[in-house]
């Protein structure tokens, strides 16, 4: 059955009537999002509150952290409805994405993470916004405005930092170190998982198509809009891809 032929799964009752392969694919995506939303909030968003330089920045960072934890709660609740044990949707049971292995130490680094990693997440959520499983589709559409706010947060505070020579240098340094980690977020080329997701109408695009789109958007944002530079990616670099992509 092609993605165009895949029936629209409008409810949890409809979900139970689907093939085991379809149900496994949906659970895999929901579990991955639940784990990574939680871990990202723990290692980036919550610690960044202490790094924020002003009460206003702390206030908005608190909002970001609250929303990221909220994303985990939503995906976990959907996962529980799909029969995934709660303990399976934590970093203790599933290894998080490699993009969270960046050792956050400075406010500039956090702003760059929001600028670039949340742009990558927007692409992923866009792809789920027309998912054949409507509860997941609806969750993606609910999440999108918050992801856009997080990316705009990164852009606004990065631009603020770039008003000084020291801040601009710190931002560029963070981009140079963090950006090379991000292509792994989109998964391997010719991924068997991605092929199955597209066959079931869960995802719409190949991993390599999404990565190409991301690189185009990131270049437009960083280089054309902000006047900064993206480092050249090393095609031979050893990266750990998202195994659920």
* Chain segment 165-212, per-residue pLDDT in tens: 999 999 999 999 999 999 999 999 999 999 999 999 999 999 999 999
Chain length of the chain: 245
Taking the CA atoms of 53, 60, 127 and 21 in sequence, report the sign of the dihedral they define: positive
Nearest-angstrom CA–CA distance, 188 and 147: 24
**CA–centroid distance for 75 within its chain:** 13
pLDDT tier at 237 (50, 70, 90 boundaries)? very low
Cβ distance 1 to 132 under 8 Å?
A: no
Count of CB atoms situated within 10 Å of the CB of 87: 8
This prediction has a pTM of 0.93
The predicted pLDDT at position 234 comes to 75
Structure tokens at 199: 């066959």
pLDDT in tens, 216-234: 999 999 999 999 999 998 7
For the segment(s) 12-225, the CATH number from 3.30.2020.30, 1.10.760.10, 2.40.50.140, 1.20.1260.10 is: 1.20.1260.10
Measured torsion, CA atoms of residues 73, 183, 119, 86, in degrees rounded to the nearest 10: 0
Q: Where are the domains of the chain?
A: 12-225
Tens digits of residue pLDDT in 53-81: 999 999 999 999 999 999 999 999 999 99
Contact present, 10 and 18 (Cβ < 8 Å): no
Report the Cα 99 to chain-centroid distance in Å. Answer: 10
């Amino acid at each position: 059955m092609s993605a165009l032929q895949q029936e629209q799964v409008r409810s949890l009752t409809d979900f139970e009537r689907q093939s085991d392969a379809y149900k496994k694919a949906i659970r895999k995506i929901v579990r991955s999002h639940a784990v990574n939303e939680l871990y990202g909030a723990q290692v980036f968003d919550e610690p960044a509150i202490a790094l924020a330089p002003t009460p206003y920045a702390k206030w908005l960072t608190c909002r970001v952290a609250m929303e990221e934890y909220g994303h985990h709660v939503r995906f976990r609740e959907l996962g529980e409805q799909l029969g995934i044990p709660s303990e399976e949707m934590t970093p203790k049971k599933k290894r998080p994405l490699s993009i969270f292995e960046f050792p956050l130490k400075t406010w500039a680094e956090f702003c760059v993470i929001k600028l670039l990693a949340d742009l990558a997440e927007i692409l992923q959520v866009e792809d789920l916004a027309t998912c054949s499983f409507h509860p997941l589709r609806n969750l993606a559409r609910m999440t999108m405005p918050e992801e856009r706010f997080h990316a705009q947060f990164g852009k606004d505070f990065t631009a603020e930092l770039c008003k000084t020579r020291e801040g601009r240098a710190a931002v560029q340094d963070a981009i140079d170190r963090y950006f090379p980690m991000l292509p792994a977020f989109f998964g391997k080329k010719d991924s068997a998982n991605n092929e199955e997701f597209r066959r079931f109408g869960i995802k719409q695009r190949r991993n390599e198509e999404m990565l190409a789109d991301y690189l185009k958007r990131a270049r437009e944002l960083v280089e054309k809009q902000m006047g900064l530079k993206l480092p050249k990616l090393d095609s031979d670099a050893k990266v750990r891809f998202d195994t659920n992509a």
